[in-house]
Structure 1
Amino acid sequence: MHFHHHGYVSGDPRVQPAAGVGIDRPTQLPDEVDVLIVGTGPAGMLTAAQLSQFPGVTTRIVERRGGRLAIGQADGIQARSVETFQAFGFAERIIAEAYRITEMAFWKPDPADHSRIVRAARAVDDPAGISEFPHLIVNQARVLDYFAEFMANSPTRMAPDYGYEFRSLEVGEGKYPVTVTLLHTAGPLEGQERVVRAKYVVGADGARSKVRESIGCTLAGDQANHAWGVMDVLATTDFPDIRLKCAIQSGEGGSILLIPREGGHLFRMYVDLGEVNPSDKGAVRNTTIEQIIAKANDILHPYTLDVRNVAWHSVYEVGHRLTDRFDDVLPEEIGTRTPRVFITGDACHTHSAKAGQGMNVSMQDGFNLGWKLGHVLEGRSPEGLLSTYSAERQVIAKNLIDFDKEWSTLMAKKPEEFESPSELEDFYTSTAEFPAGFMTQYAPSMLIGEQAHQDLATGFTVGKRFKSAPVVRVCDTNPLQLGHQAKADGRWRIYVFADPSVAGSASPTNDLAEWLANAPDSPLAATPSGLDRDAWFDVKVIYQQEHTGIDISAVPAAFTPEVGPFRLTYLENVYGTGPAADIFELRGVARGGAVVVVRPDQYVANVLPLTATAELAAFFAPLLPTRKPEPARS
């Protein structure tokens, strides 16, 4: 963690100095804001947390509840989400308090007596080592708490505005074109309306989203007509795998998905309530907690479950629905205007809870959108950047729903309906990369280059998230994960994988460094005067030699920028390979070197040769402010 560059810091280094709109931030919701986020769920809070890093952007997030969420319905945290938490600085702390999934047990009817269940198989949760991060279970409320802490410690000192319910919006003209009507739901003004004008609005207000309704979007899809009772309980039981994630299928066809919860003792059960008659009209939702517990005991036979305390329970029917757009631009308007209103998370995609994807995919919606809003509002990028949000995330949501349909259908099958006895566990292990969050791949666009040079870094697939690998930082000899050094600060990353030459010698790496530091068409040249050279771009170099063979004083200045008011030399962007792991070998990086460009949300945007300065300049040109021509010299 880097924090002394503006002078000695004796307090908590996670608390960044207040800046911009964070200085004397008004406690009351202003009449005019840059971004108004509706809803403090995972998508809304991550969007707000990312925007909290932009001191010049006024962002407020409103919530109809009067305070923080106490009990969250979501709990599964996939490895990609933990990777994201690392960028926001709280992965280690949330891992420490979470339940960690390492295996899944599969229980099926006893072949000798179908009235009983027996353990039939175990599956390792991540047999291929997809990620260095674990698969966790932790209450959604705690995830929101961590994002709230990050926001409060940010330069903007952001905090949710509780007690406001969204009523309606209208998009017009002017500096603040979106007029939003809110209703006070708590406090002395309860029942009164409040109008706020915004440049942009983000609807993160759930499956019954009023923001979605206000822009004319509807959720379309199907209902599976299959009901599940879900309960978080404290209980005593003789079921031996009560602290393991389990898929349990009984001989009578009912099934349970068992999810142990953090903190010990607490666990969640999704209990199969069977097919629902289409004319049921929601009557199944009146199923009592006593009926859910009784059904669970029937499925668990010969084991018993004695529930002592119910923290939360609900009944839901599986549905798979998706909107055809994630913003307010109608199909016939595409290319004629940029969006002003966006929807995220459950507001634009709904599915079953059993694949553990709702919170995870919703947060990636927010990560995708947040930095783009920040860049546009700070003048780093043109407004056209915002059109990429719906284009990128709608496809990902469709892939999620297709996957969840298959998984939830398998979970609802009766044992005799499977084509093979191991079909369920085979599907679980063979598709592990998708639910872990690592199958997302964005198509070529203004943000994603073509794969013309993919062979230079086969392990950093263009369009997919940057997959970390171990390196050694030269200045202090610390072994680190390269990807873990990228923070959610809104900066682009340019990773320069050096050619075999040593630091400082004439080489393509040195030529590239010279171009990055001094060329007028270098992306770094777009950084406004008065800001540190690394304010918009984080440039790192990874040499092929071990750290002991690198002379850091010979490393080009592009990789060791001067930062802060004291113009201190930043040495932490220079890396070598370690004796136990060679990142060039692990990630298929060509020995001739390569440039890997990574977006602020951790997705690989381009892979280029070290000599491709013109291509690198051309890639960034439409993403950066229009540069004024240099004045003619006399």
Structure 2
Amino acid sequence: MLIAGTGPAGSVLAAQLAEFPDISTLVVERREAALEMGHADGVACRTVEMFNGFGLAERLMREAYWVNETTFWGPAESGGIARTGRIQDVAEGLSEYPHVIVNQARMQDLLLEHMANSPSRLIPDYGLEIIDVVVAETGEYPVTATLRRTGEDPGNEITVQAKYAVGCEGARSNVRRSLGITMSGDARNHAWGVMDMLAVTDFPDIRLKSAIQSTSGGSILLIPREGGYLVRLYVDLGDVDPGDREARGRFTADSIIEAAQKILHPYTLDVKEIAWWSVYEVGQRIAERFDDVLPQDRGSRTPRVFIAGDACHTHSAKAGQGMNVSMQDGFNLGWKLAAVLQDRSPWSLLDTYSEERQVIAQELIDFDFKWSTAMAAKPKDPVNPEAGGMDAAERQAIFTQGGRFTAGFATDYSPSMITGNDTHEHLAAGFPVGERFHSSPVVRLADAKALQLGHQARADGRWHIYAFADAARPDATNSRLAAFCTYLGQSSSSPVRVFTPDGADDDAVFDVRAILQQGHRELEPGDLPEFLLPRKAPLGMVDYEKAFTVDPANDIFAARGINREQGAIVVVRPDQYVAHVLPLDAHEELEDFFAGIMTVPVRARAMAPLA
């Protein structure tokens, strides 16, 4: 397995594959060392949820600036600017995690550390870049990549052969170029300056995320940074001549500061030190495909080379989605590659990467165009409203409407081989099929510990089956949960029995958890079905962490709309998205679903039915 680039997409992808020491992974990075200061910084709630899968969420939040509220400023009648609105940045109940600000380099450091401490002890090879990739039609290792040490003369190439390769090396991706994949889209011919600074100001919202529109028409998006002093400004520098290639280069740090001071008037801005600055033009571009398979060949051959992150979609920075969506690209692809490389799933699983992520990238492009247009809009003239423009209230409405997108929760995967239909979604209305699994508080039965249910899942490639119990006690003869557990543990057609390798723990492939309606003081571990008290190799120790009860202060059955009489099965993909909702007795439907996703282990084929 070859990964090019340790940016947001590459680092998440590598962190997942590092969990599997039997997969030989090579990660190359054209820089000579790990990134010291990145330019991205906005971390969506969904990304924090993903980091929890790696056990990194708490560390991330300790270091981060939390975006609690967003304020909106517009032209004041008396001149200058005035606050026009103030909202909670993340809507109530959207996530148990906040929207935070952390430097991209630190995000990647956490993932690199996770990789180094993983079973694979995976460390990138720095100062090495991919020059070219060629895919053969046959062979066990059909991908031939030509690599070169950074700065060395042509001719000093290294050849690597791999089963699969992924280009995560940014907008100028050599992997994408090698595949002949084109990018479509347009520049908007509008310049923005971005600057991280230490400044003294009397602007009252300097430690709040703020969208500011001035009387003159200029705009600022203000983002406080971690540490308590640093602040980032995205400053509107106006339209640029598309025919003037040197226009962007004529802007200076002083001109950005001058523009910011004019927009903030009558408030003052005294810049003491600049940590970093740049000027960019707004534009949105997307790749025609995200892997090496041509449309006419889809389904007839295996995708072998993929692109992710900025290699396949670029846009403005103000929506704060570039790093986040790139990381979700890597999170989507990583578990799929691991499943195919370990022969747990058929190669057709890899088609779902481009199928799913290209749609999401296009949605990002569309949202970014809408948001960047709103940020650059001139104030509406109250005397002549037909002349166009946008007032602060309209801008605030666009921000509020896009709240689910900026938080990372707009993703809704369509039905496919890994995402079922919504026939039974009414049994668990709070877990829509195709959307991310929304955690909720529970109490672990064995030790009365209050926990978040979704936080117990790890980014280890396993599928998660949450069995929400019916109203009966688990030790009652009419318990649907007990019957489901008996089926999972004893039936020869159960996915757990069919797809778990001989000699492996019962939860090696499927992590099954039960959520009971009774309180933790009403039940004992001995009341549970045997399947929920699995024995673990090599000593046969009992795992007491499979059963949970309701939290009296926040009943998960009520909070997530679980049918109390029937209960429900909620199947969750390794990347934390709901794949299916089924009744507890829908055994055949569960079997049919996984039959299209997984392959029978070689050692288990003799005993497992193949029909």
Is TM (by shorter chain) over 0.5? yes
Matches within 5 A, 1:187-586: 192-416=156-380, 417-418=388-389, 420-506=391-477, 507-525=479-497, 526-586=499-559
- 8 Å CA contact 2:446, 2:524 repeated in 1: no
- 8 Å CA contact 2:492, 2:608 repeated in 1: no
Q: In structure 2, what is the equivalent of residue 180 of structure 1?
A: 145
CA RMSD of aligned residues (A): 1.5
Cα deviation 1:131-161 (Å, max 9, x = unaligned): 1100001100000000011111111111111
Q: Name the SS for the 2:553 alignment partner.
A: coil
- 8 Å CA contact 1:39, 1:61 repeated in 2: yes
CA offset at residue 306 of structure 1?
2.0
Q: Decide whether aligned partners of structure 1 residues 282 and 501 sit closer, same or farther in structure 2, where only a CA change above 3 A counts.
A: farther
Q: Name the SS for the 2:518 alignment partner.
A: strand
Separation of aligned partners in 1, 2:333 and 2:341:
12
- 8 Å CA contact 2:506, 2:534 repeated in 1: yes
- 8 Å CA contact 1:224, 1:318 repeated in 2: yes
- 8 Å CA contact 2:73, 2:392 repeated in 1: no
- 8 Å CA contact 2:72, 2:392 repeated in 1: no
- 8 Å CA contact 1:503, 1:552 repeated in 2: no
CA offset at residue 435 of structure 1?
1.0
Separation of aligned partners in 2, 1:255 and 1:161:
42
Cα deviation 1:55-92 (Å, max 9, x = unaligned): 21011211011101011010000100011111111111
What letter corresponds to residue 241 of structure 2 in structure 1? Answer: N
- 8 Å CA contact 2:74, 2:391 repeated in 1: no
- 8 Å CA contact 2:572, 2:578 repeated in 1: yes
What letter corresponds to residue 600 of structure 1 in structure 2? Answer: P
CA offset at residue 548 of structure 1?
0.9
- 8 Å CA contact 1:550, 1:576 repeated in 2: no
Matched, 1:139 2:139: no
CA offset at residue 354 of structure 1?
0.2
CA offset at residue 630 of structure 1?
3.5
What letter corresponds to residue 88 of structure 2 in structure 1? Answer: V
Q: In structure 2, what is the equivalent of residue 23 of structure 1?
A: none
Q: In structure 2, what is the equivalent of residue 108 of structure 1?
A: 74
Q: Percent identity?
A: 56
CA offset at residue 127 of structure 1?
3.2
Q: Name the SS for the 1:56 alignment partner.
A: coil
Separation of aligned partners in 2, 1:64 and 1:301:
44
Q: In structure 2, what is the equivalent of residue 127 of structure 1?
A: 91
CA offset at residue 428 of structure 1?
1.2
Separation of aligned partners in 1, 2:488 and 2:49:
29
Q: Name the SS for the 2:192 alignment partner.
A: strand
Separation of aligned partners in 1, 2:552 and 2:439:
17
Separation of aligned partners in 1, 2:442 and 2:397:
35
What letter corresponds to residue 601 of structure 1 in structure 2? Answer: D
CA offset at residue 425 of structure 1?
0.9
Separation of aligned partners in 1, 2:245 and 2:153:
37
Cα deviation 1:547-570 (Å, max 9, x = unaligned): 111221121122221113111110
Cα deviation 1:154-209 (Å, max 9, x = unaligned): 111111111101100111131111110111126x9998321111110001011111
Separation of aligned partners in 1, 2:218 and 2:373:
13
Q: In structure 1, what is the equivalent of residue 599 of structure 2?
A: 625
Cα deviation 1:301-347 (Å, max 9, x = unaligned): 12222222221111110111111211000011111101000000111
Give the TM-score of the pair, scaled to structure 1.
0.92
Q: In structure 1, what is the equivalent of residue 384 of structure 2?
A: none
Q: Name the SS for the 1:154 alignment partner.
A: coil
Match of 2:27 among 61, 69, 86: 61
Aligned residues: 595
In structure 1, the gaps of 5 or more residues are: 1-34
Matched, 1:94 2:60: yes
Separation of aligned partners in 2, 1:557 and 1:150:
34
- 8 Å CA contact 2:496, 2:510 repeated in 1: yes
Cα deviation 1:197-222 (Å, max 9, x = unaligned): 11100010111111111111111011
In structure 2, the gaps of 5 or more residues are: 381-387
Q: In structure 1, what is the equivalent of residue 383 of structure 2?
A: none
CA offset at residue 128 of structure 1?
3.0
Q: In structure 1, what is the equivalent of residue 4 of structure 2?
A: 38
- 8 Å CA contact 1:220, 1:321 repeated in 2: yes
Separation of aligned partners in 2, 1:111 and 1:372:
57
